[in-house]
């Protein structure tokens, strides 16, 4: 599993996850939509922590900057 997410991408995903959790906790997102929001937040958090997105791999997207020496 090679990293395919850059730091900007990870920060954006973590911010979106935090917003979704806040919307759920404040009862703005409720019911099925709230549960879907929480699942998306968990997925975004996990993919950010491991710096790998399976969907990026399928489509050949790589936002991780390669260090050149």
CB atoms within 10 A of CB 57: 13
pTM of the shown model? 0.86
Whole-angstrom distance, CA of residue 28 vs CA of residue 50: 29
Residues 48, 12: Cα–Cα separation, whole Å = 9
pLDDT for the residue 22? 97
Residue pair 60/1 in contact (Cβ under 8 Å)? The answer is no
pLDDT at res. 23:
97
pLDDT at 67: 61
Structure tokens given for 17 = 């996850």
| pLDDT tens-place string over residues 11-67 | 999 999 999 999 999 999 999 999 999 999 999 999 999 999 999 989 988 888 866
Query: Which one, of 17, 18, 7, 58, lies nearest residue 40 by Cα?
Result: 17
Checking if the pLDDT of 69 tops 80, the result is: no
């Amino acid at each position: 599993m090679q990293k395919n997410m850059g730091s900007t991408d990870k920060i954006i995903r973590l911010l979106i996850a935090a917003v979704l959790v806040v919307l759920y906790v404040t009862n703005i997102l409720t019911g099925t939509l709230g549960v879907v929001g929480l699942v998306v937040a968990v997925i975004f958090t996990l993919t950010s922590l491991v710096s790998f997105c399976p969907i990026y791999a399928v489509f050949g997207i790589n936002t991780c900057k390669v260090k050149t020496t």
